Structures are given as structure tokens and as C-alpha cells.
Amino acid sequence: MTISVRIERPVRQVYAYLSDPTNFAAWASGLGRLTHQSGNRWIAETTGGGSAEIRFSPQNAYGILDHLVLLPDGRSVPVPMRVIPNGDGAEVLFTLFQIEGMSDEVFAGDADWVARDLAQLKAVLEEG
């Protein structure tokens, strides 16, 4: 499932903000709290307890913001994410996968959480 939000800011500005993982704390409540970095890898304290490793794609000219989340239980979750131009603004697209063993109810809750986080991202970038 891909969830998107339009942001009334130039695509380059949105990408620059999102490509810096230190900005995630201002909008991405589902990611946890990033504690330290090694290259493109970050360690986050998760909301459910424990640490997760997040590997971010390197900065690029294509609006790609993919990241891979390595959960404390050993599972890995790919998170495709893009910023694309949309008129004078930008569209942020976040693809959410239903991982093996995840109930439809939990998946729907995660989708709602992502939508709230993207709404917060919109507020941060448009009001800031």
C-alpha cells in the first residue's frame, strides 16, 4: 500500500529535509528515536522496546529515500519512499508492506500511523 501527501514546498527543499535522518524525529513517530550513526546506518530505540537498525539510501538526484529497517527480532522491513515533483510542490510517497505474520488489523493500524506521520511532515514543512 502506498500512502502519499502533497507538500506545498519545492521538491528540492522537501528532498533535502527528508534526506537528513536527523529530521525524522520531528515527524516520523513510528521510526523510534535515532540514537547514533555509522555511515548510512542508524540505530533507533523503538517504541516497542529494543533497538532497530535503519539503513538509509544515499543521497541522490532521483528523490529516492528508501530505507531498510532491521527489527530487534531479526526481521527486515523494506520501506520504499520517494519525493516527486507535483506542480510547484512535491508529493511524498511511502510504501508500506504487510510483513509475514502481520494481521490485517495491525497493518491497517500501521497505515493509519504512517498517514498521521505524513500529515505531521506536511505541517512541519509548510509551517516551518
Q: What is the pLDDT along the chain (128 residues), one digit of tens a residue?
A: 999 999 999 999 999 999 998 898 899 886 667 778 877 788 877 666 678 888 999 999 999 999 998 888 888 999 999 999 999 999 999 999 998 889 999 999 999 999 999 999 999 999 96
DSSP 8-class letter at 29:
G
How far apart, in whole angstroms, are the C-alpha atoms of residue 42 and residue 54?
Answer: 5
Cα four-point dihedral sign 115, 5, 23, 64 = positive
Q: What is the pLDDT of residue 32?
A: 65
Q: What is the pLDDT of residue 31?
A: 66
Fold of 1-127: Alpha-D-Glucose-1,6-Bisphosphate; Chain A, domain 4 (3.30.530)
Q: What is the pLDDT of residue 34?
A: 73
Provide the β-strand partners of residue 85.
90
Per domain, the residue ranges of the chain are 1-127
Residue 107 CA from chain centroid, whole number: 16
Beta-strand pair 89-95/2-7: antiparallel
How far apart, in whole angstroms, are the C-alpha atoms of residue 81 and residue 12?
Answer: 15
Q: What does the DSSP assignment read for 30-62? A: GG-EEEEEETTEEEEE-TTSSEEEEEEPPP-SS
User: What pTM was computed for the model?
Assistant: 0.88
Q: What is the pLDDT of residue 16?
A: 97
